[in-house]
Amino acid sequence: MNLHSALVDRLVPTVRYIRTYLIEATIEKERKISEISNADAEKASIFFDELRQLRLNSKIIKKAIEMAAVWPVGGMTTPARGPVVYVLCRLMKPKTIVETGVSSGVSSLYILEALEKNGEGHLYSIDYHYPSDRLPSGWLVPERLHDRWTMTLAKSSERLKPILEEIDSTDIFLHDSDHSHENMMFEFKTAWPHIREGGLLLSDDTHTNQSFFDFAREVNRKPTMFYLLGAIRK
């Protein structure tokens, strides 16, 4: 790989990240969260303020520098993804959450910090690929949060159904693994029967194909969009 190709490989994801960040910063997140969770928009605003005081993104950047990881470590750090998931968890006080796709662990960290604030809840994560040869999946998540976290290294096609059957019911399901149409539809259809009434199905990177919108039509639900993150209430 020549120098020009290497620079492009670094620059393109960074430019894409900045563009997404700026777009998501303008979204009326409190109103949309209120719509999807039936919670007061003012409460959502309070939890966004709480999150700013936690300075999670600063901690993520610091950890990434310590681990010599490539920044950005994940799109979930943009304003309408990880922060939205955090606020939803604070508002809905979930007992169980299931997510597919962990990588560095940004979404896991947002969820686990919210559960810790709630004083209850457990996150079940499934991931197949390590983010790099030297960094394990979820390396961003500090040891102090591991008690609320069960991490399974496997394909969702192998372990999602057994895990959902074992816990029986989940309050929130988050897809962020392989974004092929086939895999996304598999995960949505597998998770949906196990999501409690009033619970949420969330999907990151809904722009990659039409699966999220196809599924929303299939279950006759109108999705709430936070740009790239989509939510469907059961």
- In the predicted structure, residue 213 carries a pLDDT above the cut 60: yes
Residue written as token pair 């929130």: 172
pLDDT at 71: 60
CA distance 71 to 111: 21
Domain housing 11: 3-233
CA dihedral over 75, 114, 79, 214, signed as positive or negative: positive
pLDDT at 70: 66
pLDDT at 7: 47
Work out whether strand 170-175 and strand 195-203 pair parallel, antiparallel, or are unpaired. Answer: parallel
- The predicted-structure confidence for 66-104, as pLDDT tens digits, reads as follows 887 766 577 899 999 999 999 999 999 999 999 999 999
What's the CATH code of the domain at 201?
Answer: 3.40.50.150
Domain count, the chain: 1
Is the pLDDT higher at 118 or at 66?
A: 118
- The predicted-structure confidence for 142-180, as pLDDT tens digits, reads as follows 999 999 999 999 999 999 999 999 999 999 999 999 999
The overall pTM is greater than 0.85: yes
Element (H, E) at 213: helix 211-218
Residue written as token pair 């309070």: 46
Burial of 37 (0-12, 13-18, 19+ CB in 10 A): buried
